[in-house]
Structure 1
Amino acid sequence: MRYISTRGGMDPVTFRDAVIIGQAPDGGLLLPEVLPDLSSDMEGWRELAFEDLAFEVLRVFADDIDDAVLRKILKDAFETFASEDTIPLVQVNGLNVLELFHGPTLAFKDVALQVLGGLFEHIWGGQSASLNILGATSGDTGSAAIASVRGRPNIDIFVLFPDGRTSLMQELQMTTVLDDNVHCLGIEGTFDDCQGLMKNIFSDLAFKEEYRLGAVNSVNWARVVTQVVYYIYAALRFNEPVSFSVPTGNFGNVFAGYLARSMGAPIDRLVLATNENDILARFFETGVYARGVVQHTLSPSMDIQVASNFERFLYLYFNRDSERLVEFLKTFSEQGSAKVDYVDSVDPLFLATSVGEKETVETIKSTYAAYDYVLDPHSAVGVAA
């Protein structure tokens, strides 16, 4: 399978190349030339364990990696999870909660990043110089990315985080790792500032090549496609189409659900649940993508006003019209706002809502009082929605 840039300025590349380059040289994000229809395979996948399902899905997209190697990467990745089921599905008050927090840093991003760390080591293995991984985090990506590559040979990781805007636990998870290949940098500003710095660095192609930069954020296609797996896994546990309520900041996670449905997973709706940083909720309600001021909330991993993965959705929404996408992004960059032509034509798959701080806290309290189940603030946003 070959991968192209959303902005149309890159020749197709292999999966291995896609993993290493992360972001396309033209500033775009990578997607498959064609999304496969996996619906005919899915009925036979219903009884598979999560690790086995991950192998079946990823081998479609990583067809230049040997099956035995891919199986070992997945085995090593999911052995780090505390649950025997890797991502158990539990019932809470009639809701089915997919627990993605059993990885080494207790963040849902461990699911994809533990796999990505293994892919980096395999693909870069044997090189004499180090691969320098650069990432920006609003909280949980940083610690999960560090856990995925710490101690791996010929790989260094540099994480930018907004100083004072992550939770204390998230900051300590990043800054107390003593491995020589781990480097954390606290930046004055917001996550959007960190992400902007990273994008500017990656746009300097000569610098990127000279210093062998790779991406660990969800701009990296391998992150997104691994997240697709758990949507398929959860959907196949039921005999009718299901809906997912997804706590959303950078649009990578919910976009994986969108891809899963596009490839045949029995998914009805995706509820896009944001906190008070509601740029995405406003878009799906009005068709206007307008930057606001970042609000510091109890769910800091979602304190984002510029969602990098939204570009992938727009590219598909615009029927893979790169010129139209680039024009939309240019307008947004210059004016801080851009609008789609027809609000009613925004994909009805998505329902969007914003959840405030008071409702988040009340959801945590009421769920614990009634069901003895503890929700973190991000999950509470999804439940409240």
Structure 2
Amino acid sequence: MKYMSTRGKVKGINFQDAVLMGLADDGGLLIPEEIPFMSINEIEALKDKSYQELALAIMKKYISDIGETTLEKIVFKSYEAFDDERVVPVIKLGDFYLSELFHGPTYAFKDVALQFLGNLFEYILDQRNDYLNIIGATSGDTGSAAIYGVRGKKGIKIFILHPKGRVSRMQELQMTTVLDDNVFNIAVEGTFDDCQYIVKEIFSDVEFKREHHLGSINSINWARVLAQIVYYFYSYFQTDAADSMSKVNIVVPTGNFGNILAGFYAKRMGLPINKLVIATNENNILYRFVKEGDYSIKNVVQTYSPSMDIQIASNFERFLFYLFEEDADKVRKSMEQLKVEKKIFFNDELMEKVREVFDATSTSNERNLEVIKEIYEKYKYIVDPHTACGIDAVLKLKNIYDEPFIAMSTAHPAKFIDSVVKAIGVKPEIPRGLRELEDKEKRVYELDANVNLVKKFIEKNL
């Protein structure tokens, strides 16, 4: 399997080089040159595998430059730190399923991919006797998961940008209490989109990127999307639909389009998915896109679900590549249009294609708390505000579609205590790994939202 850029100027690179490159050198995102399709019989043959066995079976289809024995060791090592042997347990709440993606070391879905990516980086760098300086932006969960994935690892330094005051207290503590010498937390005066813009601009400076051996842990890194494809298959296999290999709808709370993009690849691979439902909060650019063909950037609104407080969905470019029938020139022109005009135009024909795959909902801040309360009162089960956006989508759509629903639960409710208490008046049980954070020493660097300032900070600390 070889990889290419969505913008067409980078082609024929192997998986390990794609992992280290992160953002393609032409400014695009790296994707597999083909998506491996599986028949229903092939998919059904995987349904009794453990999570790790399933991950190995799927990842092998995308990785041809790492031996199977080595890949197996990397995969199994990546899920040792999870507090449930199933890695991603699936429960049933009434008439829908909930896939708990938060059993990793930082209690968020990002761990599923970033534990794998951290071990992957370590293996590749050791084989090449090389080093890597990782730079990434976070709206809350990516940062802590990335830091826990690479902290203390040989040959790696990590620089994480987060919007100052715009992540939850627990998310901030998870990042800033990691004092390993190779970890640098940067609080940026601005929004997550400002942080993401800085990272993309730095990666667009190819000379700076190569000189300083920069790599990415954001979901612009293909390995993150690949690792997330696995739990779509695994979650499906835990439902009754798997007995007859019939279709399901899958709801994904998303702001950056990375998580649901993995579902898109799973569907393209043959997994029986009817609709992928994009669940947004009030920062609803993806909802407006699906419902109205309106992909225009507006101001970011602070909500109870801060990891989704995003207007520029960085993984959207990968989907555009397929929407535009793999026309890299169209992708490049659309991304240039977005940068200049703050919007992309879509005709009715394209939107029909979009709606064959996706549906979408948007949840208000007030409704978010109502959903947390409804679920608690009905099932005595506590969900975080991001998951609540997904459950709201299920409640809105379950009478429209015949197929059963799986909602992706993306974070442990203890990471968002204030919102949960506001909704139900009860504190969720706090895992030991989170309880210990308040008393730990903290380290963080504050910078203005300026590309050159961040570049200078990186150079100073290499």
Bin the TM-score by the shorter chain.
Answer: over 0.9
Structure 1 unmatched ranges of 5 or more = none
**Offset from partner CA, 1:318-377 (integer Å, 9 cap, x none):** 000011111111111111111112233324220111101111101101111111101000
Shift of 1:130: 2.8
CA distance in 1, matches of 2:83, 2:371: 26
- Runs of 4+ in structure 1 off by over 6 angstroms are none
Aligned ranges 1:261-280 → 2 under 5 Å:
261-280=267-286
How many angstroms apart in 2 are the aligned matches of 1:194 and 1:298?
Answer: 20
User: What is aligned with 2:318?
Assistant: 312
* Cα distance in 2, alignment partners of residues 77 and 285 from structure 1: 38
Q: Give the match's secondary structure for 1:353.
A: strand
Partner of 1:245: 251
Tell me the residue number matched to 1:112: 113
Task: Give the aligned partner of residue 146 of structure 2.
Answer: 145
| Equivalent residue in structure 2 for 1:322, among 308, 320, 328 | 328
SS of structure 2 residue aligned to 1:352: strand
Instruction: Please give the secondary structure, in 1, of the residue aligned with 2:45.
Output: helix
Which residue of the partner structure matches residue 332 of structure 1? Answer: 338
Could you say which structure has the larger radius of gyration? 2
Structural mapping, 1:222-237, within 5 Å: 222-237=223-238
Question: Which residue number corresponds to residue 293 of structure 1?
Answer: 299
The aligned counterpart of 1:133 is: 134
Shift of 1:290: 0.3
CA offset digits 1:267-301 (Å, max 9, x no partner): 11111000000001000111121001000000000
- Which of 368, 371, 374 is equivalent to 1:366? 374
Indicate if the aligned counterparts of 2:297 and 2:311 stay in contact, CA closer than 8 A. yes
Does 148-157 or 334-343 show the bigger shift? 334-343
Partner of 1:36: 36
Q: Tell me, what secondary structure is at the counterpart of 2:8?
A: coil
Identify unmatched segments of 5+ residues in structure 2.
Answer: 394-462
Residue pair 1:236, 1:266 contacting (<8 A) in 2 also: no
Amino acid at match of 1:12: G
Distance 2:75 2:36 in 1: 22
**Quick check: 2:54–2:234 contact (8 Å CA) kept in 1?**
yes
Alignment size in residue pairs: 385
Root-mean-square deviation over aligned CA pairs: 1.0
Distance 1:43 1:374 in 2: 33
- Identify the residue that residue 7 of structure 1 maps to in structure 2: 7
How is 1:150-161 mapped onto 2 (pairs within 5 angstroms)? 150-161=151-162
> CA separation in 1, counterparts of 2:81 and 2:314?
28
Partner of 2:455: none
Question: Does 321-330 or 196-205 show the bigger shift?
Answer: 321-330
Q: Which amino acid aligns with 2:155?
A: N
| Structure 2 CA distance for aligned equivalents of residues 381 and 138 of structure 1 | 16
Q: Percent identity?
A: 49
Counterpart CA distance in 1 for 2:215 and 2:78 is 19
Where relative contact order (Cα < 8 A, 6+ residues apart) is larger, the structure is 2
Q: Distance in 2 between matches of 1:65 and 1:364?
A: 44
Match of 1:19 in 2: 19
Calculate the TM-score normalised by the size of structure 2. Answer: 0.82
Q: Secondary structure at the match of 1:245?
A: strand
CA contact (8 A) 2:254 2:308 kept: yes
Partner Cα separation in structure 1 for residue 87 and residue 249 of structure 2: 21
Q: Determine helix, strand or coil for the equivalent of 2:61.
A: helix
Cα displacement string for residues 22-76 of structure 1 (whole angstroms, at most 9, x for unaligned residues): 1100000011111111234211101111110000000111111111111111111
The C-alpha deviation readout for 1:177-226, integer Å capped at 9, x for no partner, is: 01111110000100000000000000111110110000000000000011
CA distance in 2 between counterparts of 1:322 and 1:224 reads 20
Amino acid across the alignment from 1:274: T
